[in-house]
Amino acid sequence: MQYDVIVIGSGPGGYVAAIRAAQLGLKTACIEKYSTFGGTCLNVGCIPSKALLDSSEHYHNAAHTFKTHGINLDNLSVDFGQMIKRKNEVVAQTTGGISFLFKKNRITSYQGHGSFVDKNTIKIKKTDGSEETITGKNVIIATGSKPSALPFIKIDKKRIITSTEALTLPEVPKHLILIGGGVIGLELGSVYARLGAKVSVIEFMDGIIPTMDKALGKELQKVLTKLGMEFYLGHKVTGATVKGKEVTVTFDNPKGEKQELKGDYCLVAVGRVAYTDGLGLENIGLTVEERGRKITVDEHLETSVKGVYAIGDVIRGAMLAHKAEDEGTLVAEQIAGQKPHINYNLIPGVVYTWPEVASVGYTEEQLKESGTKYKIGSFPFKASGRARASMDTDGFVKVLADTETDEILGVHMIGPRAADMIAEAVTAMEYRASAEDVSRMSHAHPTYTEAMREACLAATENRAIHI
Ligand SMILES: Cc1cc2nc3c(=O)[nH]c(=O)nc-3n(C[C@H](O)[C@H](O)[C@H](O)COP(=O)(O)OP(=O)(O)OC[C@H]3O[C@@H](n4cnc5c(N)ncnc54)[C@H](O)[C@@H]3O)c2cc1C
Ligand SMILES: NC(=O)c1ccc[n+]([C@@H]2O[C@H](COP(=O)([O-])OP(=O)(O)OC[C@H]3O[C@@H](n4cnc5c(N)ncnc54)[C@H](O)[C@@H]3O)[C@@H](O)[C@H]2O)c1
């Protein structure tokens, strides 16, 4: 069978690329090795983690804030089996939705492992052992990523686990030890902390979520400490072993002294690496980068082999679903002859703890390093009427604007619904708004978004109204 476009992998990068290519009239196929579409994000990433985050947050509120709202509950308990079942149902509905979209857009899907025979020919090895070969004028590699491992720790997937197992545990851990205080560790750690587990985070750097604006990590650590999580920052993990139901994690403190923690589960969340196993890259003369095993692409996301593109987690840049989606759209449109563009500086990053953390543009640390002259406008949620009404007063919005032009250069927020609110900052920055532009736009009252306006007012002439 001959196609205009063959997409290998059906995660947010692959399925969006396939749909956009089909919308543009290109004859399109998508190959997926798993039995369901949607990749990491829909099956074992974004969607299931958010389902558990929502369920655990409901429980946490019922246990800790309902009383203050005047709601009394007797005999509150967690039915963890039901929580996992609901999460599985959400995943099934979402992945099923992609099958529907593929049919609607007349995309031919193949279930099996795809590999290059040559740059236009892909062999599909199916689960029953049979093989089929298809050809395409263009091939898009969207094979995603897998969890990174530490060479000195054996992940047994029962007691020493990755995020995939953490989404389907048979019970709420008594003591969950997290290696890595990044996005996965803090999201899944907060799920289990809310459900009553003791959660200890061992992080190599001197702050959590270390790649985001430092102010965010500091505030998030304060909030998660209130939730009961404990942090070992600047500590270096040296090993983890399992004996029966007990995991022992050993690590060195900043002075180099040996320490250990014992728990019933240990989640290793130290990043992810590109996944290209068995893809046959060698058959088309492609190699992967030494660090992160990523495929090299040019600014058009084309590899050094003409007509072979790569998108999403398998190439450089943030490992985020929406970044993969944008790249899928870009490549499909390019193949169809259009000239699309992605502004990589304006891809937002979100951590779905509660309060949520969201960020776009330059961090204060980056502006300092580049010598850019900037001003800061900040507004705390404790001064927001909307936040007081919902008892969500932790956090703030921080706006960084150019000292001379007032153009917004970065927005960093931690607070209620920050994940949704960051869209206003992205829109404003995409249109190169100044802090004053945003401060002059009407924001409905009472909403959390007023904090963004107030932070912009603070950045403009230090004239926030409500503080
Ligand atoms: C726990 C967790 C939570 C996350 N939460 C978020 C979030 O809230 N927001 C966010 O933006 N990002 C989140 N991410 C990251 C997000 O999941 C990834 O950035 C995104 O899935 C990358 O998309 P992709 O299309 O590049 O690859 P993937 O989603 O990894 O998809 C790749 C697909 O390719 C298939 N494949 C691989 N090789 C072959 C082959 N040779 N033949 C056929 N098929 C193949 C794989 O089976 C897989 O289905 C999360 C990740 C994890 C692990
Ligand atoms: N909400 C979201 O958008 C979301 C959610 C989950 C995952 N993701 C994506 O998945 C990817 C992987 O997530 P992640 O949390 O595994 O990676 P991450 O890069 O976010 O965090 C890994 C953390 O582990 C630390 N670390 C590394 N080696 C260590 C060691 N030996 N000992 C102790 N700490 C160590 C790092 O300093 C870092 O803080 C991320 O790139 C992220 O973009 C996104």
Task: Map the chain to HEC letters.
Answer: CEEEEEEECCCHHHHHHHHHHHHCCCCEEEEECCCCCCHHHHHHCHHHHHHHHHHHHHHHHHHHCHHHHCCCCCCCCCCHHHHHHHHHHHHHHHHHHHHHHHHHCCCEEEECEEEEEECCEEEEECCCCCEEEEEEEEEEECCCEEECCCCCCCCCCCCEECHHHHCCCCCCCCEEEEECCCHHHHHHHHHHHHCCCEEEEEECCCCCCCCCCHHHHHHHHHHHHHCCCEEEECCEEEEEEEECCEEEEEEECCCCCEEEEEECEEEECCCEEECCCCCCHHHHCCCECCCCCCECCCCCCECCCCCEEECHHHCCCCCCHHHHHHHHHHHHHHHCCCCCCCCHHHCCEEECCCCEEEEEECCHHHHHHHCCCEEEEEEEHHHCHHHHHHCCCCCEEEEEEECCCCEEEEEEEEECCHHHHHHHHHHHHHCCCEHHHHHCCCCCCCCCCHHHHHHHHHHHHCCCCCC
CA of 120 from ligand 2 middle (Å) equals 35
Q: Is 324 in the pocket of ligand 1 (CB under 6 A)?
A: yes
Beta-strand relationship, 272-274 and 145-147: antiparallel
- For the chain, domains (ranges, CATH) are 2-146+273-344 (3.50.50.60), 160-270 (3.50.50.60), 355-459 (3.30.390.30)
Nearest protein CA to atom 4 of ligand 2, as residue? 183
The residues near 266 (Cβ < 8 Å, ≥ 6 apart) are: 159, 160, 161, 176, 177, 178, 179, 240, 247, 249
pLDDT at 290: 84
| Four-CA torsion 267, 269, 273, 277, nearest 10 degrees | 10
Q: Is 267 in the pocket of ligand 2 (CB under 6 A)?
A: no
Q: Which position among 58, 69, 445, 466 bears the catalytic label?
A: 445
- Determine the residue of 50, 204, 325 to mutate for testing ligand 2's pocket, defined as the one with the most ligand atoms within 8 A of the Cβ atom: 204
The residues near 312 (Cβ < 8 Å, ≥ 6 apart) are: 9, 11, 12, 13, 14, 142, 144, 323, 324, 327, 328
Residue 9 corresponds to which tokens in the numbers above?
């992998």
Spatial distance between the Cα atoms of 22 and 4, rounded to a whole number of angstroms:
10
Q: Which of 240, 217, 218, 221 is nearest to 230 (CA)?
A: 221
CA of 203 from ligand 1 middle (Å) equals 24
Whether the model clears a pTM of 0.95, i.e. scores above it, the answer is yes
CA of 396 from ligand 1 middle (Å) equals 31
Q: Beta-carbon neighbour count of residue 318 at 10 Å?
A: 14
443 is catalytic: no
pLDDT at 374: 98
Query: Nearest bound ligand to CA 236?
Result: 2
Residue 15 corresponds to which tokens in the numbers above?
């399925």
Spatial distance between the Cα atoms of 158 and 147, rounded to a whole number of angstroms:
15
CA of 142 from ligand 1 middle (Å) equals 9
Spatial distance between the Cα atoms of 9 and 256, rounded to a whole number of angstroms:
44
pLDDT at 291: 83
Q: Is 263 in the pocket of ligand 1 (CB under 6 A)?
A: no
Give the nearest ligand 1 atom to 166 CA: 1
Residue 130 corresponds to which tokens in the numbers above?
């049979």
The residues near 371 (Cβ < 8 Å, ≥ 6 apart) are: none
Give the nearest ligand 1 atom to 322 CA: 11
Task: Write down the ipTM of this complex.
Answer: 0.98
| Residue in the structure block whose two tokens are 């779905």 | 352
Q: Which of 348, 359, 291 is nearest to 318 (CA)?
A: 348
pLDDT at 462: 85
Q: Is 322 in the pocket of ligand 1 (CB under 6 A)?
A: yes
**pLDDT tens, residue order, the chain (467 aa):** 799 999 999 999 999 999 999 999 999 999 999 999 999 999 999 999 999 999 999 999 999 999 999 999 999 999 999 999 999 999 999 999 999 999 999 999 999 999 999 999 999 999 999 999 999 999 999 999 999 999 999 999 999 999 999 999 999 999 999 999 999 999 999 999 999 999 999 999 999 999 999 999 999 999 999 999 999 999 999 999 999 999 999 999 999 999 999 999 999 999 999 999 999 999 999 989 988 899 999 999 999 999 999 999 999 999 999 999 999 999 999 999 999 999 999 999 999 999 999 999 999 999 999 999 999 999 999 999 999 999 999 999 999 999 999 999 999 999 999 999 999 999 999 999 999 999 999 999 999 999 999 999 999 988 899 98
AA identity, residue 115 = S
Q: Is 320 in the pocket of ligand 2 (CB under 6 A)?
A: yes
Q: Is 163 in the pocket of ligand 1 (CB under 6 A)?
A: yes
Q: Beta-carbon neighbour count of residue 288 at 10 Å?
A: 16
- Cα 303 to the chain's mean position, in Å? 25
CA of 284 from ligand 1 middle (Å) equals 24
Q: Is 312 in the pocket of ligand 2 (CB under 6 A)?
A: no
